[in-house]
A and B are shown apart, each in its own frame.
Chain A
Amino acid sequence: MEHTLRTRVRDRLGILVVDDSNAVRSLITAKLHELSEDTYDLDVRQAADGEQALLETEKHTFDLILLDVEMPGMGGLEACRMLRQRHCPARIAMLSSMTSAEAHLAGRQAGCDNYLVKPPHDSDLRSILRLVSLRKQASA
Chain B
Amino acid sequence: MQGNNKALQSFLIESEENLAQLEQDIVALEREPEDHERIDSAFRAVHTIKGTCGFFGFCHLEALGHAIEDVLGAMRDGKLHMTRDRATILLEGVDFCRALLTLINNDGNDGEHTPEELIQRLREQLEHAEEAPAEAEPEPVASATAEPDAPAPATDQTETGADQGDSPPEKPADASASEQSPRESTVRVDVVLLDKLMNVVGELVLTRNQLLQHTTNQNDAQLVNLSQRLNLVTSELQEGLMQTRMQPIRNAWSTYPRLLLELEKKTGKRVNPILKGGDTELDRSLLEAIRDPLIHLVRNAVDHGLESPQARQAAGKPEAGTLTLSAYHESGNVIVEVSDDGAGLDSDKILRRAIEAGLLRPEQAEQLSERQRINFIFEPGFSTASQVSDLSGRGVGLDVVRTNIEKIGGSIDIKSKRGVGTTIKLKIPLTLAIVPALIVRCMHQRFAIPQVNLMEVVYLEADKQEAEIQTVHDALVYRLRGRLLPLIDMRTILEMGERETQKDQFILVLSADQQEFGLLVDDVRDTEEIVVKPLGKLLKDTPCFAGATIMGDGRVALILDVKSLADYAGVTRQERRLRHADTLPNTAEDNTIRVAENYLLIKPNSGEGRSAIALSKVSRLEEISADRIEYSGGREVVQYRGGILPLIRLNPATDNEEDNEVIKIVVQPTEHGEVGIVVNDILDIVADQNTQISQNASQDGLLGAGIVLGRVTDFIDCDTLVRKALNTNPSAQSEDGNER
Residues in chain A within 8 A of chain B (CB atoms): 97, 99-105, 108, 114-117, 121, 123-128, 130-131, 134
Cα-based distance from A134 to B656 in the complex (angstroms): 13
Contacts of A100 in B (CB 8 A): 471, 474, 620-621
B621 contacts A127, C-beta separation under 8 Å:
no
A99 contacts B474, C-beta separation under 8 Å:
no
In the complex, which of the residues A102, A116, A128, A134 contacts B474, with contact meaning CB atoms closer than 8 Å? A102
Cα-based distance from A130 to B661 in the complex (angstroms): 8
Contacts of B658 in A (CB 8 A): 131
Given A100-B474, A101-B620, A131-B658: A124 touches B625 (CB 8 Å cut-off)? yes
Contacts of B684 in A (CB 8 A): 105
* A97 CB, min distance to chain B CBs, angstroms: 6
B682 contacts A104, C-beta separation under 8 Å:
yes
B471 contacts A127, C-beta separation under 8 Å:
no
* B674 CB, min distance to chain A CBs, angstroms: 12
A99 contacts B622, C-beta separation under 8 Å:
yes
Contacts of A117 in B (CB 8 A): 620, 622-623
23 A-B residue pairs with CB within 8 Å: A99-B667, A100-B471, A100-B474, A100-B620, A101-B471, A101-B600, A101-B620, A101-B621, A101-B666, A102-B474, A102-B685, A103-B474, A104-B621, A105-B621, A115-B621, A117-B620, A121-B624, A121-B628, A124-B662, A126-B625, A127-B626, A128-B625, A128-B662
Nearest A-chain residue to B476, judged by Cβ? A100
A126 contacts B471, C-beta separation under 8 Å:
no
**Which residue of A103, A114, A127 has the most chain B CB atoms within 10 A of its CB atom?**
A127
B625 contacts A123, C-beta separation under 8 Å:
yes
A101 contacts B498, C-beta separation under 8 Å:
no
Cα-based distance from A80 to B473 in the complex (angstroms): 22
* A123 CB, min distance to chain B CBs, angstroms: 4
Nearest B-chain residue to A103, judged by Cβ? B474
Contacts of B662 in A (CB 8 A): 114, 124, 127-128, 131
Contacts of B618 in A (CB 8 A): 101
B residues 379-404 near A (Cβ < 8 Å) are: none
* Interface SS majority for chain B: strand
Contacts of B622 in A (CB 8 A): 99, 117
Cα-based distance from A125 to B625 in the complex (angstroms): 8
Cα-based distance from A99 to B622 in the complex (angstroms): 7
Contacts of B473 in A (CB 8 A): 102
B685 contacts A101, C-beta separation under 8 Å:
yes
B residues 612-646 near A (Cβ < 8 Å) are: 615, 618, 620-628
Contacts of A126 in B (CB 8 A): 625, 627
Contacts of B661 in A (CB 8 A): 127, 130-131
Cα-based distance from A81 to B528 in the complex (angstroms): 51
Contacts of A104 in B (CB 8 A): 620-621, 682
**Is B657 located at the chain interface by the 8 A CB criterion?**
yes
* A114 CB, min distance to chain B CBs, angstroms: 5
B627 contacts A102, C-beta separation under 8 Å:
no
Cα-based distance from A121 to B498 in the complex (angstroms): 19
Contacts of B624 in A (CB 8 A): 121, 123-124
Cα-based distance from A94 to B615 in the complex (angstroms): 22
Contacts of B625 in A (CB 8 A): 121, 123-128
* A35 CB, min distance to chain B CBs, angstroms: 11
A105 contacts B682, C-beta separation under 8 Å:
yes
Contacts of B666 in A (CB 8 A): 101
Extra 15 A-B pairs, beta carbons < 8 Å, given A102-B473, A105-B685, A131-B661? A97-B498, A99-B620, A99-B622, A100-B471, A100-B621, A101-B600, A101-B615, A101-B620, A101-B621, A101-B682, A115-B623, A116-B623, A123-B624, A127-B661, A134-B657
Cα-based distance from A35 to B615 in the complex (angstroms): 36
- Which 3 pairs show the lowest CB-CB distances between chains A and B? A127-B625, A123-B625, A99-B620
Contacts of B626 in A (CB 8 A): 127
Contacts of B628 in A (CB 8 A): 121, 123-124
Contacts of B621 in A (CB 8 A): 99-101, 104-105, 115
Cα-based distance from A17 to B661 in the complex (angstroms): 21
Contacts of B657 in A (CB 8 A): 131, 134
**Which residue of B628, B657, B662 has the most chain A CB atoms within 10 A of its CB atom?**
B662
* A9 CB, min distance to chain B CBs, angstroms: 24
* A78 CB, min distance to chain B CBs, angstroms: 17
Cα-based distance from A124 to B639 in the complex (angstroms): 13
* B473 CB, min distance to chain A CBs, angstroms: 7
Cα-based distance from A127 to B623 in the complex (angstroms): 11
* B669 CB, min distance to chain A CBs, angstroms: 13
Cα-based distance from A127 to B498 in the complex (angstroms): 27
Nearest A-chain residue to B661, judged by Cβ? A127
Cα-based distance from A104 to B620 in the complex (angstroms): 9
Given A97-B498, A102-B474, A131-B658: A124 touches B623 (CB 8 Å cut-off)? yes
* A2 CB, min distance to chain B CBs, angstroms: 35
* A138 CB, min distance to chain B CBs, angstroms: 10
Cα-based distance from A34 to B652 in the complex (angstroms): 33
* B497 CB, min distance to chain A CBs, angstroms: 11
* B45 CB, min distance to chain A CBs, angstroms: 67
Cα-based distance from A90 to B684 in the complex (angstroms): 24
Nearest A-chain residue to B498, judged by Cβ? A97
Given A128-B662, A131-B661: A114 touches B471 (CB 8 Å cut-off)? no
Contacts of B498 in A (CB 8 A): 97
Cα-based distance from A100 to B475 in the complex (angstroms): 9
Cα-based distance from A99 to B641 in the complex (angstroms): 13
Cα-based distance from A105 to B622 in the complex (angstroms): 11
B residues 172-215 near A (Cβ < 8 Å) are: none
Contacts of A125 in B (CB 8 A): 625
**Which residue of B474, B615, B667 has the most chain A CB atoms within 10 A of its CB atom?**
B474
Cα-based distance from A51 to B684 in the complex (angstroms): 28
B residues 674-690 near A (Cβ < 8 Å) are: 682, 684-685
Cα-based distance from A89 to B662 in the complex (angstroms): 19
Nearest A-chain residue to B658, judged by Cβ? A131
Cα-based distance from A26 to B365 in the complex (angstroms): 57
Contacts of A99 in B (CB 8 A): 620-622, 667
Cα-based distance from A99 to B682 in the complex (angstroms): 14
Nearest A-chain residue to B618, judged by Cβ? A101
